[in-house]
């Protein structure tokens, strides 16, 4: 089982008319920026499921809300055309899709700025069957402050609007994602959360001290909600270097395992997220290097199964709770 909490090829379709239903050729190893994934290559890699990022320029505007809906429209249109995939509409469908051998896909909206300061738009997220909302991206918004980007700082926690948003999302059965938040924001969300949290794609500061990564204290807070932390595949954030192989991902996974335990660690590759990928990877089909690397480092089959998909599946399917 492979479930990836963050894959970003939808934005490429909107920008470059990238056809996610067609198999694209891989680039060089460590391929920069984009063209890491499409549906045929995910199927070849034996993915069981993924959450697909929905994006817009990281500032609040009505255009962001409209673009969010256009990207979800494209996702719905694409998936309806391919019988090998299942567009997930509710939590129970994740396990059903797995049982039927379908590739399970759902959108994750990356940034509350796309709501343009309107709490009532959580209802739209629910209607569109969004799996999670990331509270901020690379820009400060009405809800929260990022760990890096425009307005980033390590002082401001979530706002009153952010607290109301967390409550509304959880009442609507949409998972809150704390990836990209600064440390005070993550800890605030952990304190008020009544349901398990995602940190869908991140690194760990204890393994490499980059602003984009999370601290041990943040890990503890997410674990206290029975949440799940997805480790990303971005060498620049994981090591400070660009040309580094997939051992950098394994190092962060192992650090997270040490602090959180194997019920709370998952994969959030950030393929197609405008980042170079590890130097021994050409595309998403090389995700198997993570499984093989964990096995070579002596981890049990049960731990590997949890990291590669089971932990993410439990949260996505609503099998975890406080």
Q: What is the pLDDT of residue 322?
A: 55
With 0-12 / 13-18 / 19 or more C-beta atoms within 10 angstroms meaning exposed / middle / buried, residue 287 is buried
Q: At residue 25, does pLDDT exceed 70?
A: yes
Which phi and psi (to 5°) does residue 132 adopt?
Answer: -155, 160
Q: What are phi and psi of 58, to 5 degrees?
A: -80, 60
Q: What is the pLDDT of residue 15?
A: 87
Average pLDDT, the chain: 96
Measuring CA to CA, which residue among 228, 230, 250, 229 is closest to residue 239?
250
Pinpoint the alpha helices (H) of 45-182: 62-80, 92-99, 122-127, 160-171
Span 237-274, pLDDT tens digits? 999 999 999 999 999 999 999 999 999 999 999 999 99
Residues 23-29, mean pLDDT to the nearest whole number:
89
Q: What number is the average pLDDT over the span 198-203?
A: 98
- Check pLDDT > 90 for residue 28: no
Domain positions in the chain are: 3-316
Which of 20, 95, 8, 91 lies closest to 55, judged by CA? 8
- Top-confidence residue, 79 or 113: 113
CA–CA dist 319, 92 (Å, integer): 9
**CA gap 20, 46 in Å, rounded:** 16
3-state secondary structure of 60: coil
Q: How far does Cα 200 stand from its chain's mean position?
A: 3
Each residue's pLDDT tens digit, 283-310:
999 999 999 999 999 999 999 999 999 9
pLDDT value of position 102 = 97
Pairing relation of β-strands 132-134 and 103-110?
parallel
Q: What is the pLDDT of residues 124-155, one digit of tens each?
A: 999 999 999 999 999 999 999 999 999 999 99
For residue 248, give the nearest of 30, 27, 50, 28 by alpha carbon: 30
CATH superfamily of the domain spanning 3-316: Metal-dependent hydrolases (3.20.20.140)
């Amino acid at each position: 089982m492979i479930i990836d909490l963050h894959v970003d090829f939808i934005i490429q379709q909107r920008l470059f008319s990238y056809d996610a239903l067609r198999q694209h050729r891989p680039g060089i190893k460590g391929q920069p920026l984009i063209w890491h994934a499409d549906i045929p290559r995910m199927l070849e890699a034996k993915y069981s499921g993924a959450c697909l990022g929905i994006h817009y320029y990281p500032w609040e505007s009505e255009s962001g809300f409209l673009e969010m809906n256009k990207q979800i429209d494209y996702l719905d249109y694409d998936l309806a055309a391919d019988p090998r995939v299942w567009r997930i509409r509710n939590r129970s469908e994740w396990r059903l899709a797995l049982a039927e051998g379908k590739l399970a896909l759902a959108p994750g909206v990356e940034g509350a700025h796309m709501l343009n300061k309107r709490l009532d738009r959580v209802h739209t997220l629910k209607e569109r069957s969004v799996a999670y909302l990331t509270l901020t991206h690379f820009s400060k918004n009405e809800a929260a402050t990022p760990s890096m980007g425009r307005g980033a700082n390590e002082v401001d926690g979530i706002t009153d609007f952010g607290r109301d948003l967390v409550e509304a999302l959880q009442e609507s059965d949409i998972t809150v994602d704390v990836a990209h938040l600064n440390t005070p924001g993550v800890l605030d969300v952990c304190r008020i959360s009544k349901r398990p949290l995602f940190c869908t794609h991140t690194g760990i500061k204890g393994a490499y001290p980059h602003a984009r990564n999370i601290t041990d204290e943040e890990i503890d807070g997410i674990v206290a909600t029975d949440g799940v932390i997805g480790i990303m595949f971005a060498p620049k954030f994981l090591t400070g270097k660009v040309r580094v192989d997939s051992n950098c991902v394994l190092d962060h996974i192992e650090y997270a395992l040490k602090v959180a335990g194997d019920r709370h660690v998952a994969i959030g590759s950030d393929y197609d997220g405008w980042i170079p990928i590890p130097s021994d990877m050409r595309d998403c089909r090389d995700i198997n290097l993570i499984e093989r690397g964990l096995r070579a480092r002596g981890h049990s089959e049960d731990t590997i199964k949890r990291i590669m998909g089971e932990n993410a599946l439990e949260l996505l399917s609503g099998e975890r709770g406080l």
